Structure 1
Amino acid sequence: MIRSVLSLTPKVGASQDLVQFFEDREIPQRALATPGCLGVEVQTLLPDGGEVLVTALWTSASSYRAWLESAGRLEDGALMRPLLAGGGEVVAAARLYDIGQRAARPD
């Protein structure tokens, strides 16, 4: 399994606007519709929201690449730039981590 980690720095005071952008554009739901996406989380740094972290769990790096190439993903990046500190550049691909070991509580 692969975890993608995307760190975004919102403009001061815009962290909730950035989270709302993900909700309005249904980005997590669209990612979940990509074969191989197992889960998505959009998180804000406590206490001030100075960073928005988007993580997702994928079955493989190729499933993440399919998401990168999906319809609307480039448009999402362009539309989110005004919410990012420094005007934002192109929203890059996330860093990918291979999950070597995992522990979870049984349901």
Structure 2
Amino acid sequence: MIRSILSLYPAPERVADVLEVYRDADILQFSLDQSRAVASEISVAVDGSGEIVVTALWPDPAAYQEWLDHPRRRNERLVAILAGVEVGSARLFEVDHSVSA
């Protein structure tokens, strides 16, 4: 299992706009429906910095690459909000083990 972690660094006053696009366009659900992703979530730093992380679980690196190559992955509204904003490259991590309640 692979976890992708994408970091976004919008200005703190733009965080709500980014989250609104993710909700309105149902980006997380779209990624699950259109790929082999197992789970996905978006989180906001509690320190007020504006940092956002988008994480997802994938069965393997190839599944994540298929999502990157998906022709409808790009959201123009999100691109406009993040124009000029630092967007980190997604990093992939191999999940060693996990537990849940």
TM-score scaled by length of structure 1: 0.80
Letter of the structure 2 residue corresponding to residue 36 of structure 1: R
Residue segments in structure 1 that go unaligned for 5+ positions in a row: none
1:94 equivalent in structure 2: 90
- 8 Å contact from structure 2 (residues 4, 92) kept in 1: yes
Cα distance in 1 between the residues matched to 2:61 and 2:27? 19
Counterpart check, 1:26 vs 2:26: yes
- 8 Å contact from structure 2 (residues 28, 41) kept in 1: yes
Give a deviation string over 1:78-105, Cα, whole Å, max 9, x none: 4323323x7237x665111111x21314
Cα distance in 2 between the residues matched to 1:93 and 1:47? 22
Q: 1:94 to 1:39 in 2, by over 3 A?
A: same
| Equivalenced residues, count | 101
Alignment of 1:29-40 (within 5 A): 29-40=29-40
Percent identity of paired positions between Structure 1 and Structure 2: 32
Task: Compare relative contact order (CA 8 Å, sep 6+) and give the higher one, 1 or 2.
Answer: 2
- 8 Å contact from structure 2 (residues 21, 77) kept in 1: no
TM-score scaled by length of structure 2: 0.84
**Range that drifts further, 57-66 or 25-34:** 25-34
Residue segments in structure 2 that go unaligned for 5+ positions in a row: none
Could you tell me how far 1:64 is from its partner in structure 2?
Answer: 0.7
